[in-house]
Structure 1
């Protein structure tokens, strides 16, 4: 007699609900590492032009082949343009500039990893979402983790204040763009909506690349790999997953995933780039990881109180 072990329905649902967030974390984290691999071979805006342009071309082909629906009016089109300017153009212009100026992949991920705090503030103002005191304490713990990692680097000669300011620009782009997309683009088609966003970002990056950098790129195997990865896995895959997760849940809840990205990024950077770990960095990871756990438990407890169910 053969016995087959199967997941119970609740367990299967739980595993399924974790799959997309875990995949998103891995894909988004890889972008910091691959971006750091690419910046020695291409100036920031040139790299962005290649990333956005290839991604836009691929999505256009998919949209046309599958006869995907386009924005129904100019207003819907305009909302997609704004999201493209914020999430794609502004965020990654700041990020790649920071990487080029010496900020490590892990540090960049940690700075952008403070996004949950600012997203929660914005979600309360723009979307009417509310966070409890325990969630705010957890989010502040995440910020403390970021400070532990970044503070000792300032003035060390590896990157100046301008480089970290560029990373803060990236943080502003992803935070504002995520909130705007949640509010105004909740029904967009991933194929045509993604194309519009990447096409707009390409139109921003291309003239800056030509005017400021002379489209400075050296084609090496690493550069070719990085361009393809950033375009397909990050610009299309990770960005699409972020939108799907935003559509399925609250903005502040989805944003809390960004607390986990720094730890995953640094592990990837340690393995691929040889970036070192030290006591403060590890303390920062512990603080941010604890912040995710604390925020999650606080949110579960808050939901259970409303529904009368005990948190699992």
Structure 2
């Protein structure tokens, strides 16, 4: 009797339209940028590390029942047989993926956000989002070297235009003396960690369930930051409605929402295209800083946003086949 070979389901994610990809990426950038505004509000009642530690612990607590429910119905991994989803991975592969997810989460949450929030004590929230928008350039360069992702001339030109806009804004800020160089350096160092984290997401985005990734990353990040917050800040919190509103928004909308959206973007578009949406951060960050915090935005920031927007369009434009 002839043997029947059962082929594994495809691991390539289903194609999505450019419009849908752009809408999800724009929403991701908007929510991501709003984190710095909410962080400024929360840090009026606590230290940055204390706020982040409580944020990640609360987010992990909220994710836990959802992740456990999904693990109970799918065996903890994306089930085989569904279109565009991988087959069940071996135990060793699951362990490696979990470790990669943990490392990516610590770089993204503990290192990047820890440095960014500490630096933001002396740097305006709008300028913080501008510094973070250099992440696509770092991510694309690292992706071309480490993951061999092809970078066409349009994408390269778009990233160069976006970076030029950021340099223009930073130069004007430096000349006006409105930027604390030590704080900016901390944020920039954190942005490097963000770029490395985005590349690590590329390795696991198609294999692990997003909720399981969030369950691995969020509590671990909170636990890592907790002793640092106690040592540096004494875990002091001045309770207020603004603080708890900020904490809840950061935990639910930002931590959980952006994690799921980033994984979706990386899976369907690659690390470089997903990271390119950080080029929108200056636009959303400065707009939210003006509307919600009353920060003054120089005209140079608005001029610098123009090549950033043009650069994003070039990065997202598909290559000709």
TM-score in same-fold range (> 0.5): yes
Summarize the Cα distance change of 1:147–1:17 in structure 2 as closer, same or farther, 3 Å threshold.
closer
Summarize the Cα distance change of 1:57–1:287 in structure 2 as closer, same or farther, 3 Å threshold.
same
Residues 48 and 205 in structure 1, CA contact (< 8 A), matched pair in contact too: yes
Deviation at 1:184, TM superposition (A): 4.0
Q: Distance in 2 between matches of 1:184 and 1:65?
A: 21
Alpha-carbon RMSD: 2.0
CA deviations over 1:232-268 (Å, ceiling 9, x no partner)? 0111011110011111112111111111122012111
1:190 aligns with 2:198: no
Q: Distance in 1 between matches of 2:214 and 2:308?
A: 30
**Could you tell me which residue of structure 1 aligns to residue 101 of structure 2?**
80
Residues 120 and 252 in structure 1, CA contact (< 8 A), matched pair in contact too: yes
Unaligned runs of 5+ in 2: 1-15, 78-90
1:25 aligns with 2:46: no
Deviation at 1:185, TM superposition (A): 4.6
Q: Distance in 2 between matches of 1:229 and 1:187?
A: 28
Which of these residues, 141, 159, 163, is aligned with residue 143 of structure 1? 163
Summarize the Cα distance change of 1:150–1:39 in structure 2 as closer, same or farther, 3 Å threshold.
farther
Summarize the Cα distance change of 1:214–1:158 in structure 2 as closer, same or farther, 3 Å threshold.
farther
**Could you tell me which residue of structure 1 aligns to residue 82 of structure 2?**
none
TM-score normalised according to structure 1 size: 0.86
Q: Distance in 2 between matches of 1:185 and 1:15?
A: 21
Residues 131 and 188 in structure 2, CA contact (< 8 A), matched pair in contact too: yes
Summarize the Cα distance change of 1:123–1:13 in structure 2 as closer, same or farther, 3 Å threshold.
closer
**Could you tell me which residue of structure 1 aligns to residue 232 of structure 2?**
212
Name the SS for the 2:68 alignment partner.
helix
Which of these residues, 110, 134, 140, is aligned with residue 120 of structure 1? 140
Unaligned runs of 5+ in 1: 1-11, 307-312
TM-score normalised according to structure 2 size: 0.84
Summarize the Cα distance change of 1:14–1:79 in structure 2 as closer, same or farther, 3 Å threshold.
closer
**Could you tell me which residue of structure 2 aligns to residue 244 of structure 1?**
264
| Number of residues of Structure 1 aligned to a counterpart in Structure 2 | 289
Deviation at 1:23, TM superposition (A): 2.1
Which of these residues, 40, 44, 67, is aligned with residue 44 of structure 2? 40
1:61 aligns with 2:82: no
